[in-house]
């Protein structure tokens, strides 16, 4: 998870990966999840964090989390076998 | 006291196939007009001109022409509120229809342009160039084809080699029917129909940067011969020349088209001294800084005319002035790039509040 | 302080050449209503997917076309091209405005008659004219546009047998620079076929040649093509007048005007690329200036527009069934309208927007229909904001050809609705159900 911890994330959602040189844009919810993942939070804690910070209306937060983690794996920001547990 | 010029310019894609924006902006700065400010308009956060030192005061991403007029109108309105501008100079072929359409409402808001009409834009498009031949402009023999069958009889009209061109971009020289058929299909697949087949003419490649007054007259023109040409066929160095044949040809084009604003005539002068107009580009060429460097600053004249000022009489340009393009690495930290990619803007000036 | 609204978490990688947050998605506005009626209300009442036609837009487009030509020509006739959309309600809007009918089959002719169009106000066009069809339509005075020599011979024979002098027009094809020629329809002008056919009609004395017709093609974005076409038609008419003293009563310049949709191969969208009816009309007028007809004898200019009249008036509402993340990281969206009902998505990049307010980062998105077939893609790449299942999207400018060329496949075809000029709305074609389909099936006795 070192790659994730090394990411520089700005308040505007600009992300720089010093390992690959790649840059990204994240929205506020994704920024929140990245912060949580860096701190090693588990699935239920991440879902609770999102539900606490944002006004939700019945979305499947757990499924959205998996979708984001799929992108992170694709970009090599988390190991290929990584799953939120 | 005259309001300072604040000029918005597109085409900051100064790559090895450069857009004209950087040349236009350097020409504007060259005029050292008091209070002049430049607003860059870019289509991608990585356009090199965004990162050039001292080139643009502010720079904004704008939506692609393919997104439609409405998003562009909204974005320009935002930029005007944010930093203000009173002239806009679009420099890319594909964006011209949108800016031409927006010109009347921009004018109503106090933003000036110097642009051709939609009809004039259509007139110089590749498929119609032959029609200009009828008005006295020497254009190479050509055929507009929508079916490959037209190639089988092309040798009856003019001999090989021939140039096979797409409707907007792309050109291939073919020496045989076989090559021509292949080039035809390649062009049609990449650029669509029609395919334009032109007689190949050999000779010196000359260019004219001309600005028309919209009434058939000429504001000014600078002639140039390419002296170094890249593998993409772009001039990498050139020299200002004076050729009376080109003078006459430029005057003929202006009279026939009543062109308003800048354009570039691409001309071949053959060994026998004949002229052939290959293309008319409806905007400044990338090498337009030569005009400022040689003493006839046409981009600045366009900005002044667009703003409704009467420009000072243009001095003639110095024949023999050269331009030599260099590749230069700009150094920047992540901040401007971060700002461009997340906020879509970099604002350094005090903007409209100044 | 209230908390920010949740949106689906997204990370988007920057790619050179695609780093512009001011894509269409940035300025995309949701379309929550169609002609003032909320999309939700419509779907609750009539289901999803749902085609919706705006009477207001149909009328506005018709009048814009008619007026653009009426300003330049003394006599103008707009004929409604049935094949583009032959639902009765649509046809009746145009007929109420004064349109004649342009049909290409006996079925369409029957439809036009059913809609109250007199036989002599129908132009019968196209290659599908059987002997049985002609026997039926000729006594009613329908104008027949002749496509080929076999048809000409058949018409002459029927004229004798029925003891009639049918009024006919000659369909002509001709070469216009920069668009592919539609050489398969009618008689060619350049090789002399058209003149031969005209001479034969005149010499035969069994048919009355009263018009010329040419249809250049479809979605023609350059008005200058019509100038060229009109010039050539005018020269042909002049030649016929000199040779036979023939003064034609109409010149049909066909259809092919573009709507505000966008062809896949087209770079600029409709708001910049599509010429106004005024520009098309001006080009036709310039071309027809070559006509040397005596004053007061000018022919009626006939238009047979379809797409340009109806496309902008049609909207398709569809519902999001699922979100997908494809193997390459691209986002997929499955909606309940597929290529079976949005047939034109094979050629057009349809303008599609969400039907409810939205937020979040737009991503390149492939929009799939609901069919279990790989080709069922209704938009192959569009920057689109995050959607939730049950959200709705609106496809715009889809009124042409879809409700005639659609096919019934694996499910029922949806309802088609019209919103009236006064805001009333009503079904103009019912959603299919099992009985609709069973009605035309039979099971042989041995099963």
Contact with chain B for residue A19, Cβ under 8 A: no
Beta bridge partners of C4: none
CATH number of B6-114+328-353: 3.40.50.20
ipTM of the complex: 0.96
Spans of all domains in chain B:
6-114+328-353, 141-199, 202-324
Beta bridge partners of B212: B218, B261
Give whole-number Cα distances, C269 to C350, C367, C394, in Å: 10, 19, 17
Tokens encoding B293 = 């460097």
Chains contacting B (3+ CB pairs below 8 angstroms): A, C
In chain B, which ranges are E strands?
6-10, 37-42, 58-61, 87-89, 142-145, 162-165, 171-174, 195-199, 204-213, 218-229, 235-241, 260-269, 275-281, 322-324, 345-347
Query: According to the model, what pLDDT value does residue C111 have?
Result: 98
Strand, helix or coil for residue B347: strand
Contact residues, C window 176-215, toward B, CB-based 8 Å cutoff: 177-181
Distance CA C286, CA C275 (A): 16
Contact with chain B for residue C11, Cβ under 8 A: no
> C400: how many CB neighbours lie within 10 A of its CB?
27
Q: How far is B95 from chain A (nearest CA, A)?
A: 27
**A25 interaction partners in chain B (CB closer than 8 Å):** 341-342
Tokens encoding C356 = 């409810």
CB pair distance less than 8 Å for C16 and B44: yes
Strand, helix or coil for residue C81: strand
First-to-last alpha carbon distance for chain C, in angstroms, is 72
**A10 interaction partners in chain B (CB closer than 8 Å):** 338, 342
Contact with chain B for residue C15, Cβ under 8 A: no
Instruction: Identify the residue whose tokens are 């944002």.
Output: A54
CB pair distance less than 8 Å for B63 and C24: yes
Q: Which of B332, B338, B257 has the alpha carbon at shortest distance from B55?
A: B332
Tokens encoding B342 = 């997340």
Q: How many CB pairs under 8 A join B and C?
A: 88
Instruction: Identify the residue whose tokens are 């460097």.
Output: B293
Q: Are B309 and B31 in contact (CB under 8 A)?
A: no
CATH number of B202-324: 3.30.470.20
Distance CA B302, CA B211 (A): 8
Distance CA C88, CA C79 (A): 15
CB pair distance less than 8 Å for A12 and B343: yes
Distance CA A67, CA A65 (A): 5
How do residues B16-39 score in pLDDT, each as one tens digit?
888 999 999 999 999 999 999 999
Distance CA A18, CA A26 (A): 16
Spans of all domains in chain C:
24-53+312-434, 55-311
Residues 6+ apart with CB under 8 A from C227: C283, C284, C286, C287
Show the DSSP H helices in C124-276 as ranges. 131-137, 149-162, 193-204, 224-244, 270-273
Query: According to the model, what pLDDT value does residue C75 have?
Result: 95
Q: Are B1 and B17 in contact (CB under 8 A)?
A: no
Tokens encoding C77 = 């006739």
Contact with chain C for residue B146, Cβ under 8 A: yes
CATH number of B141-199: 3.30.1490.20
Backbone φ and ψ of C386, nearest 5°: -60, 140
**Yes or no: domain C24-53+312-434 corresponds to CATH 3.30.565.10:** no
Distance CA B270, CA B288 (A): 24
Distance CA C423, CA C421 (A): 6
Tokens encoding A38 = 């860096």
**C21 interaction partners in chain A (CB closer than 8 Å):** 25
**C273 interaction partners in chain B (CB closer than 8 Å):** 97
Contact residues, A window 26-85, toward B, CB-based 8 Å cutoff: none
Burial class for B279, CB neighbours closer than 10 Å (0-12, 13-18, 19+): middle
**C26 interaction partners in chain A (CB closer than 8 Å):** none
Q: Which residue of C has its CA nearest to A64?
A: C8
Contact with chain A for residue B341, Cβ under 8 A: yes
Q: Are A25 and A34 in contact (CB under 8 A)?
A: no
Q: How far is C33 from chain A (nearest CA, A)?
A: 23
Q: Which of A55, A61, A67 comes nearest C3 by C-beta?
A: A55
Query: According to the model, what pLDDT value does residue C180 have?
Result: 76
Show the DSSP H helices in C205-321 as ranges. 224-244, 270-273, 277-288, 307-310
Spans of all domains in chain A:
2-74
The residue with greater pLDDT, B170 or A6, is A6
Query: DSSP string of B277-307?
Result: EEEEESS--TTTHHHHHTT--HHHHHHHHHT
Query: What is the domain class of C55-311 according to CATH?
Result: alpha beta
Low-confidence ranges of chain B (pLDDT < 50): 353-354
Q: Per-residue pLDDT for chain C (447 aa), expressed as one digit of tens each?
A: 688 889 889 888 887 666 676 665 566 889 999 999 999 999 999 999 999 999 999 999 999 999 999 999 999 999 999 999 999 999 999 999 999 999 999 999 999 999 999 999 999 999 999 999 999 999 999 999 999 999 999 999 999 999 999 999 999 999 887 677 788 899 999 999 999 999 999 999 999 999 999 999 889 988 989 999 999 999 999 999 999 999 999 999 999 999 998 888 777 777 778 889 999 999 999 999 999 999 889 999 999 999 999 999 999 999 999 999 888 878 899 999 999 999 999 999 999 999 999 887 788 899 999 999 999 999 988 889 889 899 999 999 999 999 999 999 999 999 999 999 999 999 999 999 999 999 999 999 999
Strand, helix or coil for residue C356: coil
Residues 6+ apart with CB under 8 A from B337: A23, B45, B46, B51
Q: How many CB pairs under 8 A join A and B?
A: 18
Query: According to the model, what pLDDT value does residue C249 have?
Result: 96
**C19 interaction partners in chain B (CB closer than 8 Å):** 44-46, 340-341
Strand, helix or coil for residue B60: strand
Distance CA C292, CA C235 (A): 8
Q: How far is C378 from chain B (nearest CA, A)?
A: 19
Tokens encoding C371 = 């069919």
């Amino acid at each position: 998870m070192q790659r994730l911890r090394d990411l520089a994330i700005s308040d505007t959602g600009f992300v720089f990966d010093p390992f690959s040189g790649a840059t990204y844009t994240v929205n506020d919810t994704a920024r929140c999840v990245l912060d949580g993942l860096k701190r090693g939070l588990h699935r239920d804690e991440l879902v609770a964090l999102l539900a606490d910070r944002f006004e939700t209306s019945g979305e499947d937060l757990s499924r959205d989390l998996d979708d984001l983690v799929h992108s992170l794996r694709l970009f090599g920001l988390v190991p290929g076998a990584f799953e939120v547990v | 006291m005259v309001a300072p010029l604040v000029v918005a310019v597109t085409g900051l894609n100064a790559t090895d196939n450069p857009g004209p924006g950087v040349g236009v902006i350097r020409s504007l700065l060259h005029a050292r007009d008091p209070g002049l400010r430049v607003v860059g308009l870019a289509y991608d956060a990585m356009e090199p001109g965004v990162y050039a030192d001292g080139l643009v005061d502010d720079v904004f991403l704008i939506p692609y022409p393919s997104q439609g007029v409405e998003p562009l109108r909204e974005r320009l309105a935002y930029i005007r509120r944010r930093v203000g501008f009173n002239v806009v100079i679009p420099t890319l072929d594909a964006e011209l229809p949108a800016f031409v359409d927006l010109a009347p409402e921009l004018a109503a808001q106090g933003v000036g342009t110097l642009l051709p009409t939609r009809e004039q834009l259509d007139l110089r498009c590749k498929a119609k160039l032959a029609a200009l031949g009828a008005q006295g402009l020497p254009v190479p023999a050509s055929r507009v084809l929508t079916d490959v069958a037209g190639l089988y009889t092309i040798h009856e009209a003019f001999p090989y080699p021939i140039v096979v061109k797409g409707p907007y971009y792309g050109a291939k020289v073919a020496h045989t029917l076989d090559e021509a058929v292949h080039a035809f299909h390649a062009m049609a697949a990449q650029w669509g129909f029609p395919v334009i087949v032109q007689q190949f003419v050999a000779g010196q490649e000359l260019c004219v940067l001309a600005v028309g007054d919209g009434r058939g007259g000429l504001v000014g023109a600078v002639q140039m011969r390419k002296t170094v040409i890249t593998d993409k066929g772009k001039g990498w160095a050139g020299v200002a020349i004076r050729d009376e044949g080109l003078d006459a040809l430029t005057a003929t084009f202006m009279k026939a088209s009543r062109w308003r604003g800048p354009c570039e005539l691409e001309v071949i002068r053959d060994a026998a001294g004949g002229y052939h107009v290959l293309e008319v580009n409806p905007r400044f060429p990338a090498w337009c800084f030569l005009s400022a460097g040689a003493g006839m600053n046409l981009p600045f004249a366009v900005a002044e005319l667009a703003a409704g000022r009467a420009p000072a009489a243009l001095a003639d340009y110095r024949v023999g002035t050269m331009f030599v393009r260099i590749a230069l690495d700009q150094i920047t930290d992540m901040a401007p790039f971060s700002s461009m990619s997340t906020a879509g803007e970099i604002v350094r000036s005090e903007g409209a509040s100044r | 302080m209230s908390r920010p609204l949740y949106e689906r978490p997204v990370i988007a990688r920057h790619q050179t050449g695609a780093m512009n947050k001011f894509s269409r998605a940035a300025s995309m506005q949701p379309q929550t209503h169609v002609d003032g009626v909320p999309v939700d209300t419509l779907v609750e009442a009539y289901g999803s997917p749902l085609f919706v036609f705006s009477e207001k837009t149909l009328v506005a487009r018709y009048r814009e076309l008619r007026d653009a030509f009426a300003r330049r020509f003394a006599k103008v006739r707009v004929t409604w091209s049935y094949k583009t959309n032959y639902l009765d309600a649509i046809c009746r809007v145009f007929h109420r405005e004064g349109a004649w009918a342009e049909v290409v089959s006996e079925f369409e002719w029957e439809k036009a008659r059913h809609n109250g169009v007199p036989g002599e106000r129908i132009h019968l066009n196209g290659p599908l004219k059987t002997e049985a069809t002609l026997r039926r339509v000729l006594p009613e005075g329908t104008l027949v546009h002749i496509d080929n020599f076999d048809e000409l011979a058949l018409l002459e024979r029927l004229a004798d047998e029925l003891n009639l002098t049918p009024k006919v027009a000659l369909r002509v094809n001709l070469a216009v620079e920069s668009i592919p020629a539609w050489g398969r329809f009618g008689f060619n002008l350049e090789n002399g076929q058209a003149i031969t056919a005209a001479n034969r009609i005149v010499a035969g004395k069994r048919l009355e040649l009263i018009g010329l017709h040419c249809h250049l093609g479809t979605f023609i974005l350059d008005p200058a093509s019509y100038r060229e076409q009109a010039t050539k038609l005018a020269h042909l008419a002049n030649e016929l007048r000199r040779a036979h003293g023939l003064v034609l009563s109409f010149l049909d310049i066909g259809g092919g005007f573009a709507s505000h949709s966008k062809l896949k191969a087209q770079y600029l969208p409709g708001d910049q690329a599509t010429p106004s009816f005024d520009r098309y009309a001006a080009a036709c007028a310039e071309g027809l200036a070559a006509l040397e007809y005596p004053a007061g004898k000018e022919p009626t200019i006939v238009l047979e527009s379809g797409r340009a009249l109806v496309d902008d008036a049609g909207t398709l509402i569809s519902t999001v069934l699922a979100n997908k993340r494809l193997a390459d990281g691209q986002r997929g969206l499955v909606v309940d309208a597929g290529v079976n009902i949005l047939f034109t998505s094979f050629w057009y990049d349809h303008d599609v927007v969400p039907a409810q307010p939205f937020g979040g980062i737009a991503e390149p998105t492939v929009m799939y229909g609901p069919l279990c077939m790989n080709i069922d893609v209704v938009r192959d790449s569009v920057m689109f904001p995050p959607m939730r299942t049950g959200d709705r999207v609106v496809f715009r400018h889809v009124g042409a050809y879809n409700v005639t060329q659609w096919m019934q496949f694996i499910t029922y075809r949806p309802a088609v609705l019209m919103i009236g000029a006064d805001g009333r709305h009503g079904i103009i074609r019912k959603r299919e159900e099992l009985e609709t389909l069973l009605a035309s099936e039979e099971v042989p006795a041995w099963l």
